[in-house]
């Protein structure tokens, strides 16, 4: 494989085709169903699907079949099959994954930027969804096209682009079961929905945290009363809420107090965290828009990497029962509610974590207050299986060829529900999980952007790994595991990323 030629061709395709299509994709407000209950009537999801399918059909890829599959009352799914090429195996498949649904708008976009307003500034394409994860179908097909352009063999490839990931992928298990025979036996899963620690290396994700969360409500009165009259007699719902949260989290250090919500960190992941911290340096924390004078939660960089990849952590992502400051009168409020987002260690069982959270927060409520917890999600994380030598070498060679540096392996703090699902369905598969979400790219937040040079390099790296997979397959170094058609029930509803 001529890696320089592959990179040139992919760069050109990104400039001529992919970026213009991503510009149009960003304009579409196709929010995930969790954030747009009327997504069917609005039609934005269909618009995004049509844009991607139209582009995909234009690609000169031998034997490619493209179908939009939509089960009753479920989000659509783009399913692409590319037969083996130049002597590759049709039995030993590669599954490439991405999603096209988006997070909601979020406030705080800078002047001239907006969620549905594509803006090109230098190497960055701003707007919601370009990096998370609209580029995935484009990068996957660009990689395959680059191989076929040079006559390089690849195994059969299956591309799955779902429209429900940001809502927890609750539709995806049904599609995987529905398409089981057509998916076949993938021995390699390539996911383009993850992050990168910097834009100078190829980063591969080795673990993902789980997630448990929902609405915690504390009620003390049927209606608000004069604070001067009731304070000191009626306990504040806000103070009771603080007490309950302190059961769960040490408010000084941020450490989760409940031992059952922790899990041991494997030795290889500890070493990867150490290497990642060494590579990143202060970028571990200064990629975030910290205010002047703000410090990270720990001085040890390795500890910070472990905190965001293997340790439980609590965030309060919303609140109710609190009036705006401009209309806050002298009233002792009847209730306070917050939305909890509790990240879980990759190996911790999500359902058990939900039970532990309930027990922690609901038992023996202070003053007999009415406390409720509505769990919206309780999903397990994922820890990658040991990486085969052929894949480890292929990823590192790809990084050397297209970045000029070796690959780096690190866990991610977010969740990709599909990975745990695929790990259970294909226990013999290998995983290459990577992405373009690097420093300041701010997925889910304001000013989200796609770093275009990274998108180009990641696409070229995928091409090189696909070629290496075909060679490994021919040498008998890969193996696939059949889909378990009856396994979707164990996954249930997953937490969103």
* Domain CATH code at residue 227: 3.30.70.360
CATH of the domain at 34: 3.40.630.10
Q: Which portions of the chain are predicted below pLDDT 70?
A: 479-497
pLDDT at 168: 84
CA angle 185/432/486 to nearest 5° reads: 35
Do residue 27 and residue 158 come from a single domain? yes
Output the CA–CA distances (angstroms, integers) from residue 415 to 374, 418, 419, 480, in the order listed.
20, 9, 9, 24
Strands 157-162 and 77-82: antiparallel
Question: What is the reported pLDDT for 377?
Answer: 84
**Dist. CA 108–CA 131, nearest whole Å:** 19
- Residues 25, 146, single domain; the answer is yes
E strands along 220-300, which residues? 225-226
Q: Quick one: 118 and 30 in the same domain? A: yes
Q: Which domain holds residue 215?
A: 211-263+310-379
Domain count, the chain: 2
- On whether residue 290 sits in a domain, the answer given is no
- Provide the pLDDT for residue 384: 94
**Do 351 and 215 fall within a single domain?**
yes
pLDDT in tens, 370-387: 999 999 888 899 999 999
Shared-domain flag, residues 343 and 375: yes
Q: Does residue 51 lie within any of the structural domains? A: yes
End-to-end CA distance of the chain: 36
Burial of 126 from C-beta contacts in 10 A (0-12 / 13-18 / 19+): buried
pLDDT in tens, 474-497: 999 996 433 333 333 333 333 334
At residue 497, the pLDDT reads 40
Query: Which pLDDT value is given to residue 492?
Result: 34
Residue 185's pLDDT is 86
User: Is 0.85 topped by the overall pTM?
Assistant: yes
Angle, in degrees to the nearest 10, between helices 19-26 and 44-57: 170
Q: Are residues 14 and 160 in the same domain?
A: yes
């Amino acid at each position: 494989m001529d890696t320089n030629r592959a990179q040139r061709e992919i760069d050109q395709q990104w400039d001529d085709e992919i970026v213009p299509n991503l510009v149009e994709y960003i304009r579409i407000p196709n929010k995930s169903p969790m954030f747009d209950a009327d997504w069917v009537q609005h039609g934005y999801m269909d618009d995004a699907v049509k844009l991607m399918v139209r582009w995909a059909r234009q690609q000169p890829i031998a034997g490619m079949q493209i179908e939009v599959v939509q089960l009753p009352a479920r989000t659509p799914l783009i399913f692409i099959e590319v037969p083996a090429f130049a002597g590759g195996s049709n039995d030993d498949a590669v599954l490439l994954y991405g999603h096209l649904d988006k997070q909601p708008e979020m406030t705080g976009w800078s002047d001239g930027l907006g969620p549905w307003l594509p803006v090109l500034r230098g190497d960055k394409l701003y707007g919601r969804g370009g990096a998370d994860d609209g580029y995935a179908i484009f990068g996957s097909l660009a990689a395959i096209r680059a191989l076929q352009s040079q006559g390089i063999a690849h195994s059969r490839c299956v591309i799955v682009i779902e429209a429900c990931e940001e809502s927890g992928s609750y539709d995806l298990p049904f599609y995987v079961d529905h398409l089981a025979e057509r998916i076949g036996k993938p021995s390699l899963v390539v996911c383009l929905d993850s992050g990168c620690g910097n834009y100078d290396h190829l980063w591969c994700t080795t673990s993902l945290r789980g997630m448990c969360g929902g609405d915690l409500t504390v009620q003390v009165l049927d209606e608000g009363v004069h604070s001067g009259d009731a304070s000191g007699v009626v306990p504040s719902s806000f103070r009771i809420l603080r007490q309950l949260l302190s059961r769960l989290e040490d408010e000084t250090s941020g450490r989760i107090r409940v031992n059952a919500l922790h899990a041991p960190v494997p030795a290889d992941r500890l070493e990867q965290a150490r290497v990642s911290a060494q590579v990143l340096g202060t970028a571990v924390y200064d990629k975030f828009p910290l205010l002047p004078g703000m410090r990270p939660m720990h001085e040890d960089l390795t500890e910070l990497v472990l905190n965001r990849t293997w340790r439980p952590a609590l965030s309060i992502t919303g609140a109710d029962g609190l009036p705006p400051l401009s209309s806050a009168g002298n009233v002792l409020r009847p209730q306070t509610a917050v939305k909890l987002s509790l990240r879980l260690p990759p190996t911790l069982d999500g359902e058990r974590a939900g039970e532990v959270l309930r027990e922690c927060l609901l038992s023996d409520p202070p003053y007999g207050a009415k406390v409720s917890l509505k769990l919206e999600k309780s999903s397990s994380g994922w820890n990658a299986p040991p990486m085969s030598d052929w894949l480890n070498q292929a990823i590192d060679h790809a990084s050397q060829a297209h970045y000029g540096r070796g690959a780096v392996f690190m866990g991610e703090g977010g969740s990709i529900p599909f990975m745990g699902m695929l790990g259970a369905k294909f226990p013999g598969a290998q995983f290459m999980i990577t992405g373009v979400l690097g420093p300041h790219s701010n997925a889910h937040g304001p000013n989200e952007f796609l770093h275009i040079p990274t998108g180009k390099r990641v696409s070229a790296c995928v091409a090189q790994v696909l070629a290496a997979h075909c060679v490994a397959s021919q040498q008998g170094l890969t193996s696939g595991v059949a889909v378990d058609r009856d396994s979707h029930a164990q996954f249930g509803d997953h937490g969103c990323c």
